[in-house]
Every structure is written in structure tokens, then in C-alpha cells.
Structure 1
Amino acid sequence: VGPMAGIISQSMPVFIVKNETFGNLSFGTMNEGLGKVLRYGAYSDDVIIRLKWMETVLYPTLKKAIEKIGSIDLKSIISQALHMGDELHNRNRAATSLLYRVLAPAITRTSADSENAAKVLEFINSNDHSFLNLSMAAAKASLDAARDVEYSSIAVTMARNGVDFGIQLSGTGGKWFTGPAPVPDALYFAGFSKDDANPDIGDSAITETYGLGGFAIASAPAIVGFIGGSAKDAQNYTLEMYEITASENKAYQIPYLDFRGVPTGIDIIKVVENNILPFIDTGVAHKEAGVGQIGAGVLNAPPEPFARAYMGLAKSIDDTKERL
């Protein structure tokens, strides 16, 4: 998985995340930071220079450090970060800090070049989104284990490509159900407006599919404050998501809701019948290639994919019954 444009080429190193219970793997790119970066459509010389540095310095330094550590418990970091003001999509400051604490001793002990070690630590420390790609990969590793449950109406993927918004269900295999991707309501950087924005894009809505991001925004009221909302608004957004989910994840608790587990397992039947759409927080890319990020904000998923998934699941169930 990759945020925003989600570009992954053959030479780009990735994180490998293992679901320890079921054994399946997921993969995520390393985060470049914010602003003019590849995932937001920028491709200037400084973007390429940074990517080459990530390939030749950041990657081998992290590889040695993680091999020294053995493994990093992402579930524990996510759980703690939710108690520290993160929702693990648009706000990852606490999770990145916790990751830094795990990595720093191993980096200093395993790097043969002290200057490279310092630059890697500075890069992680200066990028509050360093953990985002790991939260996405953790979400995918968990959700992939929920695939292929017969008749299940639970969404296992939500993704956007800048044109369409698509979902997949546990009970309908690899079939995509799509609709037009919306443009986020956002706080735009100086000089930009909604007219400049590309429709929503990226794999990062896998975090909401997992119960994080917009579904856990009560843990990160600062995000809503960023676009002019209140802490109460953040709580209400999360409370509404309980109306369209199958369960609560007690491993991931929200302090502001008396440590209630995050709403987990989007049930598309509930989405359609309750007329409540998943709430997502997201970054905003310029509609023209090369400009990069122009803001951040929130949006609801479009209704069309869920209505089509509802009908598709019903047809799948009918077809199965006819074959019996």
C-alpha cells in the first residue's frame, strides 16, 4: 500500500509487515515527508534526489536496525498513539515518536557511518508522517486476513485513484465496486482553493477500513480543529461510525469516549440501510502534476460504491443458492 498517488517502482524499498496470527504479509513504501513529494504528484530534481537517498542511505540503515531489533510491534505503537492524540492517518506525531524511540538505539549501534545515522534520525524526527505507511500496512495485513468469508458484508478495502472510489467486500472476492471520488473539504495552503484540488486519491483509506483515521478521529481532535471544527465534532464523527460497523476493537481504545474500542468492520448493509457514509480524513493533491500537496481535510465516502456492493453481495448470495 502507498498513500496518495501510491507510486511503487521496482527499485523502491518497502516495509514488510507480518500478521503474526494468520501469517500473511503486507508491504508499504517509506514515507517521503510532506509538501513537494512523489506521492502528491511532484517529480522535480529535489524529489528524485530524496528518493535516491531513501534507497541508498535510509533503507540500508533501517534494514540493519530492524534486523538488530528483530521485529517492531506495530499494534502496541498504534494502541499507545491513540492515547496520545493520533488517529494514525492524518496525524501520526505520537506514533512516529514512539517508532523513533524503538529505532534510535539500534540505528546508532548498527550504522557504520555516524553522519548517515544522524541524517536518518533527523529525517524520521522531522517527518511526523513517518509512521503513516506502517499504519497502512498494519491495517492491510489485518484486513487481508478477513477476506473470503462467505456471504460477509464487511468491507476489507477502501481505496481511491483520483478518479474513482472503490471498495471490496470479504464476501465477494476481488470484485471492485466503484463510484466517483469526491473532492475533500479542506484547509488549503495559501494561494490554493478547492478549484485547484484533485479528487480524493490513495490507498490510505485502508486505515479507516480498519477503524483508524476518520473512524478514530475522536482521539485526534486537533485534526478537526485544523479545519475549523471542535473536539465535540470529532467525537460525533466517531460515534456515528459505530452505527455502520460490526464491532469494536478493544485493542485500540479512544480515551475521549471512556476508552471505548474503535468502530471496526464497515458493514455495507448498515451503510446503505442507515444512510451513513464512512468518514475519512485525507491530504489534498493539486489537480496538475508537479505541484504537490495543497492542503488537508475531511470527506465522506461517496454512496455509489456501497449501493453497488449491496446489490453485488445480494446477487452473489442468490447465485450461490442457485448452485446448491
Structure 2
Amino acid sequence: MQTKVFQPDQLAAAAAELAAGELVAFPTETVYGLGADATNEAAVKKVYQAKGRPSDNPLIVHVADVATVKQYVADFPVTAEKLTQAFWPGSLTIILPLKPGAFAKTVTGGLNTAAFRNPRNQVTLDLIKQLGRPIVGPSANTSGKPSPTLAAHVLHDLTGKIAGVVDDGPTGVGLESTVIDLSTPTPTILRPGAVTKEDIEAVIGSIDADHHKVKPDEIPKAPGMKYKHYAPNAQVYVTAAADFKAAASWARAQGEPFGLMATDQVLAKFPVLAADYRFSLGDSIVTASQRLFDGLRHYDQLPEVKFIFAEEFPAVGLGVAYMNRVAKSAGQQYFVQK
């Protein structure tokens, strides 16, 4: 299959591909998603095939407005009204109970709930409106690999497997959306993102954060809860800023090439290290979050690199989401001075 690159002024052609049951990747403010008509079961099955995604990993349904969500759900509680008013369009995904038969099991992973999001990207909102139906949108990458924040990342993983990608440049947030479950008695965050627990509690009051490990026979209610995610080819170690010199010394002792992913302040301590092995995360948790996946993908282009040392940030605010992703990319491996 030839994979086309659509520009934002070519949405009619992209929507026609979706209407024909094909897959088109689309931009959001978080990462690029892999789009299919959410009401077309055959098209949704292609998403799993293209990504190599486990069939019990549910998909997020992207909508152009709140009214669309209300067509499919059994209940739209006051908490959902408040959250959508506060954060939509934006980086918040909301899990709600469905009307019977609202979506095929391929969308929900066999659950009676679905996750909905209204992305903060006008190009994609216009694409959904042109299609006239919601679209599923997991990250547009090979399952388990770092999520795509550029159209080039999508093409690297999925060229020849999908009909096209709408190129709207780099994404702004860089980490996938916060997922909150409103189908349970107490609203619960299942995946942290740019909309923080504190942000949500300021709107609807006290909520929980779910830290349980999904069992092998359990269907996850949200993406990112069960399977390996965000992993490059090299072994990642989450590394405190003060430990980078020790980490570099340890890697040299192993006789293996290594790469750094750190703030400019840390990288300044390694002026003799080749530029390709120093990936800047900028100067803050905001830029680090924007650049994390791009950095992991950068090192996948350097097969000689065996170790990646990625900077640790305090797990507060946006840092909760950043640390969630970087720790998963490392398989929960932290560098400890040897």
C-alpha cells in the first residue's frame, strides 16, 4: 500500500480514505493517532493489524464535540459535564459506560465502557467533522515503541501499512492524554498526562489514581496499563541529574556506546561526547515532555547505542506523566551508582 502524506488543506481526501474503511494517521496536541472510522468494525480491526496491537487493548474514540459522546453513552454524569467544559478540547480522555451495542468489541476490548477524547487540534477536529463519525485513535506507531510526535515518526513505523498521514507538524504536549475513569463510584486516573490530578480535583473534587498492575488475564480499561510501552531498542536507565557522570563512567567500563537524554545543564558537562549521543530535553519538564519520545526514537536510528540515560524529574504536576512514560520505557530500571 502506498502511504500518502496529506497536508491540512487536503482533509477531504483524507476523510474519503477513512470513509472507505482505510487508516489515516492524524495529529493531536499530544501525539499522532492512527485513525479509523469507529463505527466500521473491519476498519478498526486494521488498526490492530497495522500496529501489531493486542486485541484486548482498548482504543480511544476521538470526537468533534460533546454531543457525539452523548449519542453512545448510557450515562453522562455531572462530573463529565464539568470536566468537558473545563478541559475539552484538550488532553483529557474520559471513560464512560456505553449503551448496549454502541461500538463493536474491537473498539472497547470487550468492555461495556469506552474512552472518549476531544483533541485540541483544529485540523483533526475538521477531519472528524468531514467524516461525520467518530474515529478511533491509538498512537500511530508500532505497538510497544515510543509514541510518534512527528509525521516522520508515523511514516517510519507504518509506511506501506496505512493509507496516509495528515502532517500538521510537531505535536505540542508530547505525552499522551490523561485518562480518567468515570464509570466507577470514585473517578480514577488510569493514565497520567498533561491534565494533572490537581487540575481535575479543582473542578470535581477528590479523585483516585490507579496504580494497580493489570493481571495477565485482565482486560485493561485504558491504553498503557498492561503491555510494554515506549521502549526503544537500547536499554533505558532513568538517571538522576547528579548521577550522569557516574552513569557515563559505568557505560564506558562496559565497552558499549551510550546516549544521554538530559537537560542542557546536564549535557553541558559532556562537551567531548559526540553530538549524536547527546539529546537535549531542553530546560524544563515542559520541554522534556515534548521531546521525550523524539529522543527515544533518535537513538533507535543509532543501533550501536546499547544504553540510554534519561534524566529523572520530580514526580509532581506534569512530572507525574513524564516519569510514568520514561520509567515504562526503561522497564522500571533506574541507574544506581555502581
TM-score in terms of structure 1 length: 0.28
Q: Which has the higher helix share?
A: 1
